[in-house]
A = this chain, B = another copy of it.
Amino acid sequence: MIRVGVIGYGYWGPNIVRNFNMIDGAEVAAICDKNPLSAQRARKNYPNLLITENSAEIVQSPDIDLVTVITPVSTHYELAKQALLNGKHVFVEKPFTSNTKQAAELIEIAGKKNLKIMVDHTFLFTSAVRKIKQIIEDDVLGELYYYDSTRVNLGLFQHDVNVIWDLAPHDFSIMDYLIKEKPDAVAASGKAHINSKEDIAYIMVYFSKNIIAHLNVNWLSPVKLRTTLIGGEKKMLMWNDVDADEKIKVYDRGVEITNSEGIYNLLVNYRSGDMWAPKVDQIEALKLETQYFVDCINKNEEPFNNGHAGLRVVRMLEACDESLKNNGRMVKL
């Protein structure tokens, strides 16, 4: 039985507690939140657990095997480091750390002490992303042409990060998971209308291969859009995450060059065939993810969403910030 200490009981923490309690082989032993109101709420919900406002009681506890860090990103590094130094596995909310240097140091400590790091890229455990992964691996789409994501809504403004650090980790981790090629460079432009942090931003991601990626993230949209188009040589896919019933649609559509005779003739042919919406299960992603982490620990296996995956995402975020500061200039990774 892996005993879990949860640090951070705000918006997401209660889900972490519930899921670690639901799965086999784990149970939550303690909860910490330095905000007295949150601690009080945890106490009410879990009267039999240790509830504390002092994270040291968690990271130093001899009763705890695994520490989850579900706090603002600026605190991830220090809390995760203390947990690792005290011999705990760590499960860290995304984005992993505030910069790549911190991420690399945590990876190094975990490696030396043979501890596991999992970064909470929850989307990778959704049925939708798992289905898309399978579609791509089955070569249904053929060579990938583009990945184009729109992720906009009327914010939940974050106090410590801009819209890119809030929303883009989802797409960066999904792209890292779905696209075999690794990106070469990014460019980002944005604007801060409400306070000093960008609330709207556009990100280009460049690859050496033929694929191009683009993210549209916005805290000031009147409507919630969660649409990703993935174009391939053979077929094209649309993932609409706000559609309850038909999240994924695979279109048998495309173009092919057929001839090029004469400047006034069209050079390409269009193909427009059936559309297919595969069934997408409704399993809670976090349940799969927490179970997977417990299994990795028990089998001493490295999770695919480990510290290295977290670091790759942070490197993208860092590069975006650098590009933002330089008029949207392309920044090599």
Query: Smallest Cβ distance from A264 to chain B, in angstroms?
Result: 6
* Complex CA–CA separation, A264 to B10 (angstroms): 10
Evaluate contact between A251 and B223: CB separation under 8 angstroms.
yes
Indicate which residue in B193, B274, B327 contacts A279 across the interface (CB closer than 8 Å): B274
Q: How many residues of A contact B (CB 8 A)?
A: 75
Indicate which residue in B191, B214, B263, B272 contacts A212 across the interface (CB closer than 8 Å): B191
* Chain copies in complex: 4
Evaluate contact between A154 and B35: CB separation under 8 angstroms.
no
Evaluate contact between A204 and B328: CB separation under 8 angstroms.
yes
Evaluate contact between B191 and A270: CB separation under 8 angstroms.
no
* Complex CA–CA separation, A256 to B268 (angstroms): 48
Q: Which of A175-226 contact B (CB under 8 A)?
A: 187, 189-191, 193-195, 200, 202, 204, 206, 210-212, 214, 216, 218-224
Indicate which residue in B146, B187, B257, B277 contacts A191 across the interface (CB closer than 8 Å): B146
Query: Smallest Cβ distance from A9 to chain B, in angstroms?
Result: 12
Q: Which residues of B sit under 8 angstroms from A191, Cβ to Cβ?
A: 145-146, 210-212
Q: Is the interface of A mostly helix, strand, loop or mixed?
A: strand
Nearest CB in chain B to that of A229: its residue: B221
Evaluate contact between A154 and B253: CB separation under 8 angstroms.
yes
Q: Which of A240-258 contact B (CB under 8 A)?
A: 242, 244-246, 249, 251-257
* Complex CA–CA separation, A221 to B236 (angstroms): 8
Query: Smallest Cβ distance from A333 to chain B, in angstroms?
Result: 14
A25 close to chain B: CB less than 8 A: no
A159 close to chain B: CB less than 8 A: yes
Evaluate contact between B155 and A255: CB separation under 8 angstroms.
yes
Query: Smallest Cβ distance from A240 to chain B, in angstroms?
Result: 10
Evaluate contact between A154 and B277: CB separation under 8 angstroms.
no
Q: Which residues of B sit under 8 angstroms from A255, Cβ to Cβ?
A: 154-155, 157, 194, 219-220
Interface mask (A141-173 → B, CB under 8 Å = 1, otherwise 0): 000011010101011110110000000000000
Known contacts A145-B191, A146-B191, A222-B235; 7 further A-B pairs (Cβ under 8 A): A150-B150, A157-B268, A193-B210, A216-B216, A220-B254, A274-B276, A327-B330
